[in-house]
């Protein structure tokens, strides 16, 4: 990517928008620690990077709440709680490694599930004060299958492809989500923003080496909220699971894209009444947490996060998934994001 043209593209996009202050709007923000100490964070990083990344390679796509049986699209239900607003995206300090037209901010969220095995979802780096925030589906951070409050050994690997860790591994430190998801599993609020420690990589001696801040390394998407429900978005994720007919068009090894115009949706099986839907062929396993980017600019790989995949559906009963679902980002989603953005993380290793 040409850094000059990329920066100009983002500058033009940002100049068209009016940034809003990160003020809370009365949302209840829930927060949980993901790790107890720097020493514990180093152990988590070693778990994933040790033995040549064997646990990363062994991880399978998370299969919890990947699809819904029935949705209803169109109609009312979603009401913005304020004016449309944005925070600006950020470019990385150096040219990224993503394919042309694809964002360097996307990657895989890895964790150990309630079954004791390693799994992954999709996540994306977003801009924040301390350049250390990852966005994903809340049920890719909370353990909704057991009594444990959060999923174990949570890390983010941007640009993950075919077993490679091109831009470091980032251990999750603190989880921020909406109280209604934490307390009631309200899937209308199935989004999470996670502070991560500075990155680490495997050193030449088999240990760990510091790798700097997440957004410095890969950049960060902006955030958009209270947007029109008929907006056009680009989706980026790592779909891997099968369609109902058994076909597997995706491997989950590389970043994929789709997109379209959003509409309102309800999903009775999730007791969710204020969702967005978009036409997408992504399968559910692997694509949970996929970023929905508004006003995405291919030259810079930047846009505005305006949703996250929480499930998929087959709306025409042809045994092929054709629709992805996301919570609607209103001022309460922005308040959760803003709360995460005020927390500093620091490095996993001293020095």
Give 258's strand partners: 235
User: How far apart are the C-alpha atoms of 138 and 146, rounded to whole Å?
Assistant: 15
Is the pLDDT at 21 greater than 70, yes or no?
no
The residues, any chain, with a CB within 8 Å of residue 4's CB and separated by 6 or more, are: none
Q: Supply the pTM of this predicted model.
A: 0.91
Asked if the model's pLDDT at residue 252 lies above 50, the reply is: yes
pLDDT of residue 17: 35
Q: How confident is the model at residue 40 (pLDDT cuts 50, 70, 90)?
A: very high
**Tens digits of residue pLDDT in 206-218:** 899 999 999 999 9
Tokens of 184: 């009631």
Instruction: For residue range 280-303, list pLDDT tens digits in order.
Output: 999 999 999 999 999 999 999 999
In this prediction, residue 161 carries a pLDDT of 84
Residue 140 has pLDDT above 60, yes or no: yes
pLDDT classification of 205: cutoffs 50, 70, 90: confident
Model pLDDT, residue 101: 82
Give the residue among 350, 349, 348 at the shortest CA–CA distance from 34.
Answer: 348
pLDDT exceeds 80 at position 22: no
Cross-strand pairs, 343: none
CB 270 within 8 Å of CB 257: no
pLDDT score of 51 more than 60: yes
pLDDT at 144 over 60: yes
Nearest to 133 by CA among 190, 198, 49, 41: 198
3-state secondary structure of 58: helix
Amino acid 98: pLDDT: 61
pLDDT band at 27 (very low <50, low <70, confident <90, very high): low
């Amino acid at each position: 990517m040409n850094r000059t043209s990329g920066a100009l593209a983002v500058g033009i996009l940002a100049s068209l928008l009016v940034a809003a202050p990160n003020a809370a709007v009365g949302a209840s923000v829930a927060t949980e620690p993901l790790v107890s100490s720097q020493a514990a964070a180093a152990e988590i990083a070693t778990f994933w990077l040790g033995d040549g990344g064997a646990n990363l390679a062994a991880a399978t796509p998370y299969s919890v709440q990947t699809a819904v049986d029935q949705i209803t699209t169109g109609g009312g239900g979603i009401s913005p709680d304020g004016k449309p607003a944005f925070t600006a995206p950020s470019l990385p300090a150096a040219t990224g490694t993503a394919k042309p037209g694809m964002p360097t901010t996307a990657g895989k969220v890895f964790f150990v599930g309630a079954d004791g095995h390693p799994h992954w979802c999709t996540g994306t780096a977003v801009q924040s004060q301390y350049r250390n925030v990852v966005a994903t589906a809340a049920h890719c951070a909370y353990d909704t299958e057991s009594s444990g409050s959060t999923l174990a050994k949570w890390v983010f690997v941007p640009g993950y492809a075919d077993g490679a860790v091109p831009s470091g591994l980032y251990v999750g430190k603190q989880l921020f989500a909406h109280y209604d998801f934490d307390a009631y599993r309200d899937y209308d609020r199935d989004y999470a923003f996670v502070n991560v420690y500075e990155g680490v990589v495997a050193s030449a001696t088999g240990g760990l080496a510091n790798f700097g801040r997440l957004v410095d390394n890969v950049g960060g998407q902006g955030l958009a909220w209270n947007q029109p429900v008929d907006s056009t978005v680009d989706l980026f994720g790592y779909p891997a699971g099968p369609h109902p007919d058994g076909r597997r068009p995706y491997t989950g090894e590389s970043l994929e894209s789709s997109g379209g115009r959003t509409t309102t949706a309800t999903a009775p099986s999730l007791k969710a009444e204020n969702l967005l839907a978009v036409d997408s062929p992504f399968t559910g396993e692997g694509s949970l947490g996929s970023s929905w980017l508004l006003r995405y600019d291919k030259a810079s790989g930047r846009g505005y996060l305006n949703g996250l995949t929480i499930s998929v559906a087959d709306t025409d009963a042809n045994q092929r998934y054709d629709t992805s679902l996301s919570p609607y980002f209103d001022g309460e989603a922005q308040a959760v994001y803003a709360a995460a953005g005020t927390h500093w993380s620091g490095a996993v290793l001293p020095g």
